[in-house]
Amino acid sequence: MTVHRSTGSARLGRRRRLALSYAGMSVLAVFFLFPLVFMVVSSLKPDAQILSDTDSLRAFLPVGDISLDNYGEVFERVPVAQFMTNSVLVTSAIVILGLFVNSLAGFALSRVRWAGRGVVLAVIIATLIVPFETIAVPMVYWVSKLPTLVLEGGLLKYDFGWLNTYQVQIIPFVANAFSIFLFRQYFSTIPASLDEAARIDGAGWFTIYRRIIVPLSGPAFATVAILTFLPAWNSYLWPLMVVQKEELRPVMVGMQYFFQLNTQWGEIMAYTSMITLPVLIVFLVFQRAFISSIAASGVKG
Amino acid sequence: MTTDLALTTTAWQRSGSGASRDGEAPRKGSTMKHRSLAAMVAATAAGALVLTGCGQAGQGSVNADGKTELTMWTHSAGNPGEIAVYDQIISDYNASQDDYVVVREDFPQESYNDSVVAAAASGDLPCLIDMDGPIMPNWAWSGYLQELKLPEKLTDSLLPTAVGTYQDKIYSAGYWDAALSIFARKSVLDANRIRIPSIEEPWTREEFDAALETLKAAGYDTPIDIGAEDQGEWWSYAYSPILQSFGGDQIDRDSYLTAEGALNGPEAVEAFTWFQELFTQGYAGNAGTIGNQEFVDDQVALSYTGVWNAQAALEEVGDDLLILPPPDFGHGPKIGGGSWQWGITADCVDAEGARDYLEFSFNDDYIAAFSDSQIVIPATAGAEGLSEHFGEGDDLHAFVELSQQFALARPATPAYPVISSTFEKAAKDIMNGADVQSTLDNAVKDIDQNIESNDGYGF
């Protein structure tokens, strides 16, 4: 009987703790969801109602004059499809190339023993100290003088200047010190004996990277993918400086289209709802791996 | 270190002489490596041949039809009204002659200046750029602009504040100007027995203070919306005229070398003390929303706002709307002048074409179209007559008179961006309760230091 009672009370205690932790998590979830709910709900309301609803809970409820008008007006003001295409293209290229280049660099720094790798790692990490804004203008000057190939009258010719291109939005952001560091840290947790066994079987460095390290580093790749995706998707200052043609602009520059003399709040909310969607999808797809990588590498993003 | 080196050497020796990279057989691996090397050398050589053989792409700005391309940048992205007018002007101009073709690129206003400065740094500015009036002296001083050199007859026909002059030379000209005024409801002023001011007889400081007190007592939580929740250039544009009406200024306009006395003299202290009291006495707040919605909703009785909000206010308030001059704080009512204008960049190789286009565009029909599309004051008398709103007897004609009577351009100095941001910071500190005299003294120090470190900006 005593055993039964104690098992029953333990179960009750466990349930209580579970209920409490769920209640706590629900409060946190609601807290974090509020901005998103406000954004989506406001995107359905006219400007005057958004402003008048802000002093009550109505701000979070789809009540009043609800319509999709703001979405229609967004498409009239901003070439959304073009900006989305540009952002998807640029961001995908940065993420894919970044995963490859940075993981190889992390691999070289973590698994291959060579003279000076400690110094190289220190120099790479040191670059994190330099804020992008301080080097942005010299970089604009620099990329404006880089050689490139162009088609002119059906002939391939060379020219100078990367401004107004996709590559100027991609190449400078492929190599990333934080990603290299994160890969290096994660790869260091994989036992070296695996490499040695592979080498005995005749594997070269690239085979070890491709067949052993990459398959074992899913969470690190997912984390770097997310951490590369976010700033690439949110990129604003750089494209603003190096892209003057509207057809090459990414989504974030489009945000500024709504800040006229009178700010179009409803349209801003509709636009942000549209451009936040890909971010949410990427996070949801990678979130499990993201969390496990952060737990494994001890790195906080 | 020694161990590291030894290990490294061993590793590379293994991978080289072991000839078993990537799990391939020794001979095959070695052959693959040589093939890869050969392929790389061949690709590099081919690339070099292509580059040296094909020559550099054309450097001129002549398009396939043999017309010279003139690129112009606007701050109008996201503003379909303005873009529609530009489309009309450009298509008319391109069809009107065979020498030039104008190509437009639109930028969002909020980040337009950053784009121009970045392009200037890399030498990629187009021939024609538009710019906010007060930034023009800075860009002229920085060497971005050349003298406009439009016919005198044309520039003389424009509102004085629509022409950008720096060091006695004209660098920019615009199709329109904006003006601030005080919006009120006639019914509210009548009900509270407040005199309706006119251009000839604006409110005095005492009358204005009394009106605010009366309206507060009548139940308006904050009787006037002055837009203090806004930020950036608005602060200098909207509140420096108050300072000037008190007799102060942002800089000594005789020398343009110091703000001493102008921004921290007794008149300026009096102006900012009054400004601070607006908030401490609860006559104005800074927690509202940007725009004119509070006035439309009758949450405030008065709104210190611009011509661009007038049509929407008219639609909501109807005949009850009054467009009033700003108060006279001792030196006459003042309104900030100078808005977006056009200039030609210093490195434009086709400046004659750029001038030809600008001359074509300063046509009364286009100016009136801008004015009606954006609800701004047309820069010429001819366009006033063509406009739906600003001609004699039209619903917004009051703004033309306000602009003509009271507009004062912001200081035409390259130091203006610093003056503006320093002014904003000081005014916000004072709004939040900082000591007026010491805050203004510090602002003067910051402005003077900047001018000094730039060798007086050429003055």
Q: Do A204 and B21 lie within an 8 Å CB cutoff?
A: yes
Same domain, A229 and A151: yes
Q: Do A113 and B7 lie within an 8 Å CB cutoff?
A: yes
Delimiting residues of CATH 3.40.190.10 domain(s) in chain B: 68-177+338-392, 180-335+415-458
Q: What is the mean pLDDT of each successive set of 10 residues along chain B, which is 459 residues long?
A: 32 34 40 54 56 50 81 93 95 95 92 89 91 95 96 95 94 95 97 96 97 96 93 93 97 96 97 96 87 90 94 92 96 93 94 96 96 94 94 92 93 95 96 96 97 93
CA angle B275/B245/B407 to nearest 5° reads 120
| Per CATH, domain B180-335+415-458 is 3.30.1360.30 | no
Instruction: Burial-class residue A31 by CB neighbours within 10 Å (0-12, 13-18, 19+).
Output: exposed
Element (H, E) at B23: none
| CB-based contact, A135 to chain B, within 8 Å | no
CA angle A262/A268/A273 to nearest 5° reads 170
Same domain, A222 and A143: yes
How far is the C-alpha of B251 from the C-alpha of B259, rounded, in Å?
4
Residues A218, B33 contacting (CB under 8 angstroms): no
Instruction: For residue B81, give the chain A residue with the closest CA.
Output: A77
Q: B180-185 and B321-324 as β-strands: parallel, antiparallel, unpaired?
A: antiparallel
Which residues of chain B have a CB within 8 Å of the CB of A146? Answer: none
If DSSP codes are grouped into helix, strand and coil, which group holds residue B172? Answer: strand
Work out the number of other CB atoms within 10 angstroms of the CB of residue A277: 12
Q: Do B20 and A156 lie within an 8 Å CB cutoff?
A: no
Please state the ipTM of this predicted complex. Answer: 0.75
Which residues of chain B have a CB within 8 Å of the CB of A137? Answer: 118, 121
- Mean pLDDT estimate for chain A: 88
Which residues of chain B have a CB within 8 Å of the CB of A204? Answer: 15, 20-23, 29
Q: Do A137 and B51 lie within an 8 Å CB cutoff?
A: no
Same domain, A138 and A281: yes
Q: Tell me, what CATH number does A84's domain have?
A: 1.10.3720.10
Same domain, A31 and A153: no
Which residues of chain A have a CB within 8 Å of the CB of B128? Answer: none
Instruction: For residue A55, give the chain B residue with the closest CA.
Output: B288
Angle between the B436-453 and B266-280 helix axes, to the nearest 10 degrees? 130
Tokens of A179: 């990603």
Same domain, A139 and A210: yes
Q: Do B55 and A256 lie within an 8 Å CB cutoff?
A: no
- Over residues A116-145, the pLDDT tens digits come to 999 999 999 999 999 988 888 889 989 998
Same domain, A62 and A181: no
- Rg of chain A's alpha carbons, rounded to an integer? 25
CA angle A213/A219/A222 to nearest 5° reads 105
Q: Do A152 and B57 lie within an 8 Å CB cutoff?
A: yes
Q: What is the pLDDT of residue B48?
A: 54
Q: What is the pLDDT of residue B41?
A: 58
Same domain, A131 and A247: yes
- From the list A216, A257, A298, A241, the residue with the least C-alpha distance to A80 is A257
| CB-based contact, A78 to chain B, within 8 Å | yes
Q: What is the pLDDT of residue A156?
A: 81
Q: What is the pLDDT of residue B1?
A: 34
How far away is chain A from the Cα of B70, in angstroms, using its nearest Cα? 15
Same domain, A258 and A193: yes
**Mean of pLDDT values over A147-176:** 87
Q: What is the pLDDT of residue A1?
A: 47
Same domain, A52 and A179: no
Distances in Å between the Cα of A72 and the Cα atoms of A26, A250, A267 are 34, 20, 9
Q: What is the pLDDT of residue A296?
A: 61
DSSP secondary structure letters along B227-273: -TT--THHHHHHHHHHHHHHT--SS-TTTSS--TTTTTSHHHHHHHH
Number of domains in chain A: 2
Same domain, A43 and A186: no
How far away is chain B from the Cα of A182, in angstroms, using its nearest Cα? 23
Per the model's pLDDT, the better-predicted residue between B188 and A10 turns out to be B188
| CB-based contact, A206 to chain B, within 8 Å | yes
How far away is chain B from the Cα of A52, in angstroms, using its nearest Cα? 9
| CB-based contact, A262 to chain B, within 8 Å | yes
Q: What are phi and psi of B68, to 5 degrees?
A: -80, 125
How far away is chain A from the Cα of B362, in angstroms, using its nearest Cα? 23
Domain extent for A32: 1-77
Q: Do A244 and B79 lie within an 8 Å CB cutoff?
A: no
Q: Domain boundary at A21, A50, A77, which?
A: A77
Tokens of B91: 């298509």
Q: Do B293 and A237 lie within an 8 Å CB cutoff?
A: no
| Per CATH, domain B68-177+338-392 is 3.40.190.10 | yes
How far away is chain B from the Cα of A254, in angstroms, using its nearest Cα? 8
Same domain, A289 and A170: yes
Same domain, A258 and A122: yes
Q: Do B105 and A244 lie within an 8 Å CB cutoff?
A: yes
Q: Domain boundary at A77, A101, A136, which?
A: A77
